[in-house]
């Protein structure tokens, strides 16, 4: 009714309540808004704990996120990066990317730490090396269209963008589900798979 999108309203709430340059407080404020104001927005409290644990265990120097949306996951990833690491995040919707860019910078991350790339993942991935300098990703976080998970994993493989021992984190593979991706990951012989179960809303 206001003519502004949910993503824009989320950013306006952050501007009013979050501490600029404090990624942890940015995420806390996001969570408050998700729960209190817009229950249909995605909240990553449960899956976020998994992400934080993997970042701590793996300490990846090059991270690729597929599906920036409004930047919640990006800030979550960026705050857990080891010194000198770089995060590349891809968002296909320019409207979401415009909000995410402001959220990422509000959280205090520069373009040297977090690079937001706007465009369809299938078009961006083949050019990550020559256009953006991503040589090999140590960690990939997939949280975009589930039907694209398998296609994009194969693109990353074919363009040799996965480092040896890389970790692939894929959200919501059971619900709403990415069955072809899951079957490939379990049967192709390239990956050791583990399913982390969370509550249905996550």
- Is residue 93 annotated as a catalytic residue, yes or no? no
Q: What are phi and psi of 87, to 5 degrees?
A: -115, 130
- Is residue 172 annotated as a catalytic residue, yes or no? yes
Catalytic residue among 101, 146, 190, 194: 146
Q: What are phi and psi of 102, to 5 degrees?
A: -70, -40
Catalytic residue among 7, 65, 143, 152: 143
Does 176 sit behind a cis peptide bond, omega within 30 degrees of 0 on the bond before it?
yes
- Is residue 22 annotated as a catalytic residue, yes or no? no
Listed residue (53, 17, 47) closest to 32, CA to CA: 17
The answer to whether the beta carbons of residues 60 and 146 sit under 8 Å apart is no
Catalytic residue among 7, 91, 152, 171: 171
Catalytic residue among 91, 172, 190, 194: 172
Residues annotated catalytic, as ranges: 143, 146, 171-172, 201
């Amino acid at each position: 009714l206001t003519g502004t999108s949910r993503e824009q309203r989320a950013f306006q709430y952050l501007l009013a309540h979050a501490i600029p340059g404090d990624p942890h407080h940015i995420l806390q404020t996001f969570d408050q808004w998700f729960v209190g104001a817009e229950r249909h927005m995605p909240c990553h409290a449960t899956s976020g704990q998994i992400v934080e644990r993997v970042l701590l265990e793996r300490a990846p120097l090059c991270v690729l996120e597929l599906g920036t949306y409004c930047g919640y996951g990006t800030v979550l990833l960026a705050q857990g990066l080891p010194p000198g690491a770089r995060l590349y995040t891809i968002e296909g919707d320019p409207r979401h990317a415009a909000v995410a860019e402001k959220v990422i910078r509000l959280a205090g991350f520069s373009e040297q730490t977090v690079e937001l790339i706007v465009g369809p993942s299938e078009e961006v991935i083949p050019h990550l090396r020559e256009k953006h300098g991503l040589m090999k990703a140590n960690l990939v976080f997939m949280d975009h269209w589930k039907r694209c998970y398998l296609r994009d994993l194969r693109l990353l493989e074919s363009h040799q963008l996965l480092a040896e021992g890389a970790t692939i984190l894929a959200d919501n593979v059971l619900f709403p589900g990415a069955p072809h991706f899951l079957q490939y990951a379990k049967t192709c012989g390239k990956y050791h798979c583990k399913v982390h179960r969370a509550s249905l809303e996550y």
